[in-house]
Structure 1
Amino acid sequence: MRLHRLALFLGAPVLSLSGCVSTSARRPAGEVESMVQERAGARLSAVESDTSIQNATSELLKQPLSPESAVQLALLNNPSFRGRVAELGIAQAALAQAALLENPKVHASLRFPRGGEGRQTGSEIGGTINFLDLITLPLRRKLASTQLEQAKYRLGHETLELATEVKAAYYHLQATRQTLELRRFALEGLEAASILSERQRKAGNISKLDEASQQAAYQEAKLEVGRAEVEEVAARERFAALIGAQAGPWTIADKLAEPPAVEPVLEKIETTALSQRWDLAAARREPSVLKQALRVNRLSMFSSIDVGIDSERELDGVTGVGPEVEMSVPLFDRKQASSAKLKAQLRQSQSTLAGLETQIRLQTRIAHAQLVQTRAAISSYQTKLLPLKRRIVAETLKNYNYMLLGVYQLLESKRAEIEAQSAYIDTLKSYWVHWAELERAAGGRLPQDALQPAPAEKQEEQPEQPSRPEQPQPGHEHHEEKP
């Protein structure tokens, strides 16, 4: 009977004050998935099984990857990111632990008469619970709940960071492949020029200097192709690592897309960034977390305050029942060191928050300025430089056909056109990388109200892939005797 009453005494506070919190991360994961879907346009599968991930991966790989589907593939298969997703489960488990009370303590003892005198034995039984644990329970739950919110925001921010990396790697791979193709075009023309110069030199039509110049240009072009091939391999491997090397065979679109007919408005993008950046939201909650931790720290000065009930039967058979209290005395350790640490961390978090807001404004302005500049450069390439280069090639070809210019001048004009096209591809790649960086700075996809129509410019001619160099014909050349 006494044990029954003791169990009721110890269990009632536990049942009334401690709630049941699940350790499953499914609910917070679902909230993060909704956030990511809205901001990044990708589905974050935080608690999916391996089978469902494999099925989703197979479905994505049926078509050439776009930047968006590449991001989706990375969210499913990038091993480093999948490890960070597990941190959400850690935070959820910490919340569940914060909702639990310490187990009650039970003690019992027997006392026997010395020398065998008498037949009665003494006994004592009692139990206690940590009353301080009961007092701090609401504070600990609130603290863990705020930390779970921070974990969700951090995971959302890391999702956008990965999305930016994947998109940048995607655009870089496209650019390296287009550049490699151009380098190979140029090499074909210079190889033909090299062969022709050797024949002309043997025939005595050009000097040794002219022949050496053509041979050197050909060797330089071979080196450029080699460098372009290495860059393409490196870009492909970086991209494969980001989307998950185990994902399977994949392909991407051949060419970089042209810029859209809209451009972002800086003021609206900056306002959007300050209102929706997830890393900023997590940083804004850090002072609150530390203030809550300070309150818990002050109450935990006593370490424990155990209260309970004790029943004792003396050797003479008399039984006594009464309350029991045991507590630590904060004589030496009054948590002053940990309190000072938390206060310093609080000041640090407030300064970090102010610095992050400044950094976000800076990131937004830099990314926007880079985007505007590269768009202007693209327009200049499309409307001025590339049409001029093509016109030069066309006019040089006319003069070559009329035998007013030599084949080497024609090949040089074609090489200059290819170089301009290569620079255009690099600029176009930079534009899309800056767009991805601006999305990261803004905290997600750019909202429609932050976009405005791009200024319309009359384009003389759309940029085209240069045609393959004309193979110079040995019979169609100027014969000029050289020493």
Structure 2
Amino acid sequence: MTAEAAVRVAMLRSPRLQQEYARLGLARADVLEAVQVANPTLSLSRSYLDPGSGYNRLAGLTMPLADLLVLPVRTRLARAEYERAKLEIAGAVLNVAADVEAAWYTYVGAQQVADMRTAVAGGADAAAELAQRFFDAGNISELQLKQEQAAASEARIIAARARADAGRARLTLNTLLGLSGEDAAWATSDRLPMPVGAEDDPQQLADLARTSSLELLAARQQAEILVDALGITRKLRWLGGSEIGYERERDADGSRLRGPTLDLELPIFNQGQAKLARAEALLARARARVATAELGVDNAVRLGAEQVRELSQVVAIHRDALIPQREKVVERSQQEQNFMLIGVFELIQAKVQEYNAYESYLEAVRDYWLARVELMRAVGQRLPSDAAIGDRTPSVQDILTPSAEEAMPGMDHSGHDMSSMPAAPADAMEGMDHSGMDMPAKPDAPMAPAAAPADAMEGMDHSGMDMPAKPAAPAVPASAPADEMEGMDHSGHDMPATPTPVDHSQHGAPPASPAPPTQDEKETEEDTPTPPDHSAHGDTP
């Protein structure tokens, strides 16, 4: 069932519209009563004379004089009132149609949100089950396990509330449509229309509303009727209850008297001041209602147009910025999780945030169409831009089950060689957080073996060690090959990598003075790096 189909069903089945149609019948009855004059009054009398002298008979026919004088004017006023009633009822029909459309958009949006929340709850349950397995394997703490389980419980609660909201919205729509029982087993589209490309100009909509707003037109019609009624009241205020008629009398002797009659109400005490004051007050109130309606319609149209424009921008921000950004976050998170740079729970959280972005997008589209319904209500007719409605948003099923190309865009694992990885259990590293390690952003090279060269240590964080970031290589004793000592880590040994020359000054005999170095020894000494200072790592021998 589309929004247009829902409106058609409401026009035929809605009890609320049946009430409005009944009001139209009442207005038509008032017109019929107004165009008819009051029934004449027949009077008969018989009066006796002296006993045995006979009796007189009198017959008369009268009718109100004011009804005959104001009949044309009253007919005109009644027809104008009927037109005003039709405008009011047409406005009520438009309000019912707007309420049905708003209820339809609300229900479809609520159903989309419920489906998204159900999917998020399913993902949260899967994350909680995975956390339980990790906890059983000793990979995460009990705190992390309870956090995932609590998040899953909250997701289920939110999903249940979303489904309840969707059910409530459907019942509201059924009430407006006049459907229940088996008639309410209808299905609707799961996709809302996209916002139109070009919105209507607010000034043009305001000008259109001044001539098409049914509420405003009905208020103006009422004011015109009361202006005419005030003029009639001023002219006929002196008539009061005057009557005109015809009388015929027959005496006892057979003579007859006949002729017209006129009964006039003398305006001595009541001169129609109350009727005149009432007519003037009704006209003043009607004019105030016209001014209020004009101001309200103008402000409602401008506010509605502004709301539509702002919500259209919100939809555009979701479509062009937020959703692509969240999709890219999921893509990068998937890549980092593949390289064990983040845990699987961080990836799940990124996916949940992506679903939240989609849900916010669907809610923004729903709010946009609800704002357009209110704008249509203020204008009094369909918006000119309705002709540009075309594309529709993706369904929840399209969001939850993307195509294979869209599932992990940009990921190419054909060049990854996993043969160099150690034969560790598949789930040993799963869920571990390496975000605090200063590893390269793109570790494309395979993992180095234990006996890695010195260059393999480059990029690691040694900020907590009291040694230079890149110490010079220590002098290698002649007895050890250079290849065997290279890359070994002596930071945990109490002995320095290069022995300090022994001081023999305390042994009693001064050491022999060394011979002056030759030229070759000087060059060799210059090329030899200075041994590092390990005094901070322990006592030197």
Which TM-score band applies after superposition, normalised by the shorter structure?
0.7 to 0.9
Tell me: CA distance 1:334–1:480, structure 2 relative to 1, closer, same or farther (3 Å): closer
Report 1:23-62 matches (<5 A). Answer: none
TM superposition shift of 1:195: 1.3
Q: Deviations over 1:111-169 (max 9, x none)?
A: 2233x323x32111121222221001011111111101101111111122112111111
1:126–1:308 Cα contact (<8 Å) kept: yes
C-alpha distance in structure 2 between counterparts of 1:334 and 1:198, whole Å: 94
- Residue 412 of structure 1 corresponds to 349
Do residues 214 (structure 1) and 159 (structure 2) align? no
- Of residues 278, 297, 303 in structure 1, which corresponds to 2:240? 303
Q: Determine helix, strand or coil for the equivalent of 1:380.
A: helix
> Percent identity of the aligned residues?
28
Partner-residue secondary structure (3-state), 2:399: coil
Alignment match, 1:78: 14
State whether residues 6 and 101 of structure 2, in contact with CA within 8 Å, keep that contact through their aligned partners in structure 1.
yes
Among 97, 110, 124, the alignment partner of 2:33 is 97
State how far apart, in whole Å, the 1-side matches of 2:212 and 2:196 are: 24
- Deviation (angstroms), 1:451: 8.5
| 1:253 paired residue among 180, 189, 210 | 189
Query: What residue in structure 2 maps to residue 178 of structure 1?
Result: 112
Amino acid of the structure 2 residue aligned with 1:77? R
CA distance in 2 between counterparts of 1:296 and 1:348 reads: 18
Question: CA offset at residue 260 of structure 1?
Answer: 2.5
* Cα deviation code 1:289-324 (max 9, x no counterpart): 112222443425533322222121223333222221
8 Å CA contact 1:122–1:314 kept in 2: the answer is yes
Q: Which amino acid aligns with 1:331?
A: I
The equivalent of 1:427 in structure 2 is: 364
CA drift at 1:411: 0.6
User: Given residue 52 of structure 2, which amino acid in structure 1 is its aligned partner?
Assistant: E
Q: 8 Å contact 1:302–1:334 — kept in the other structure?
A: no
The offset of 1:215, in angstroms, is 0.9
Q: Kindly indicate whether the alpha-carbon contact (under 8 Å) linking 1:194 and 1:218 is maintained by their aligned counterparts in 2.
A: yes
Matched, 1:203 2:154: no
Q: CA deviation at 1:391?
A: 1.2
SS at match of 1:262: coil
Question: 1:163 and 1:241, CA in 2 relative to 1: closer, same or farther beyond 3 A?
Answer: same
Superposed CA deviations along residues 47-100 of structure 1, whole A, max 9, x for unmatched, are xxxxxxxxxxxxxxxxxx211111111121111221111111111111111111
Which of the residues 200, 203, 206 maps onto 1:267?
203
Question: Which residue matches 1:337?
Answer: 274
State the secondary structure of the residue aligned to 1:259: coil
State the 1:332 CA deviation.
Answer: 3.1
Alpha carbons 2:342, 2:432 under 8 Å: kept: no
Which residue number in structure 1 is paired with residue 42 of structure 2?
106
The answer to whether the 8 A contact 2:344-2:431 is kept is no
Matches within 5 A, 1:115-194: 116-118=51-53, 120-194=54-128
Aligned length: 404
Contact 2:103 2:172 in 1 (8 A): yes
Structure holding more helix per residue: 1
- Cα distance change of structure 1 residues 372 and 343 upon mapping to structure 2, 3 Å threshold: same
Q: Give the alignment of 1:229-240 within 5 angstroms.
A: 229-240=163-174
- Provide the TM-score with structure 2 as the length reference: 0.70
| Structure 2 Cα separation of the partners of residues 248 and 194 of structure 1 | 38
**1:369 corresponds to which of 303, 306, 309:** 306
Structure 1 unmatched runs, 5+: 1-64, 455-462
Match of 1:87 among 23, 47, 61: 23
CA RMSD of aligned residues (A): 2.5
**Structure-2 separation of matches of 1:210 and 1:477:** 17
Q: 1:476 to 1:183 in 2, by over 3 A?
A: farther
CA 1:362/1:464 → structure 2, altered by over 3 Å: closer, same or farther? Answer: farther
Counterpart code for 1:234: R
Distance change >3 Å, CA 439–CA 82, structure 1 → 2: same
Q: Which amino acid aligns with 1:81?
A: L
Q: In the alignment, is the contact (CA less than 8 A) between 1:265 and 1:452 conserved in 2?
A: no
CA distance in 2, matches of 1:146, 1:98: 11
- For 1:287, the equivalent position in structure 2 comes to 223
**Cα distance, 1:452 vs structure 2:** 9.1
Counterpart of 1:177, as a letter, is Q
- Cα distance between partner residues in 1 of 2:152 and 2:428: 19
| 8 Å contact from structure 1 (residues 91, 151) kept in 2 | yes
1:365-385 superposed Cα distances (whole Å, 9 cap, x missing partner)? 111111111111111111111
Q: Tell me, yes or no, if the aligned pair for 2:196 and 2:388 is still in contact at 8 Å.
A: no
Tell me, in whole angstroms, the C-alpha distance in 2 between the residues paired with 1:253 and 1:228: 18
Corresponding residue for residue 429 of structure 2: 478
Quick one: distance in 1 between partners of 2:238 and 2:134? 96
Is contact 2:195-2:389 (8 Å) kept? no
For 2:232 and 2:32, the matched residues in 1 are separated by: 17
The residue aligned with 1:226 is: 160
Q: CA deviation at 1:188?
A: 1.2
Amino acid at match of 2:78: A
Larger radius of gyration: 2
Q: 1:477 to 1:94 in 2, by over 3 A?
A: farther
- Which amino acid is 2:367 matched to? S
Q: Which residue of 2 aligns with 1:380?
A: 317
Comparing 297-306 with 252-261, greater Cα deviation is found at 297-306
Deviation at 1:187, TM superposition (A): 1.0
Q: 1:239 to 1:418 in 2, by over 3 A?
A: same
Q: Using the alignment, how far apart are the partners of 1:338 and 1:153 within structure 2?
A: 27
Which has the higher relative contact order, 1 or 2, with Cα contacts under 8 A spaced 6 or more apart? 1
Contact 2:11 2:17 in 1 (8 A): yes
Larger CA deviation: 399-408 vs 221-230: 399-408
Kindly indicate whether the alpha-carbon contact (under 8 Å) linking 1:274 and 1:357 is maintained by their aligned counterparts in 2.
yes
Q: Report the CA distance shift for 1:480/1:90 in structure 2 as closer, same or farther (over 3 A).
A: closer
Structure 2 CA distance for aligned equivalents of residues 244 and 301 of structure 1: 53
Cα 1:210–1:327 shift into 2, 3 Å: same
CA contact (8 A) 1:264 1:452 kept: no
**Cα separation, partners in 2 of 1:282 and 1:317, compared to 1, 3 Å:** same
Partner of 2:375: 438
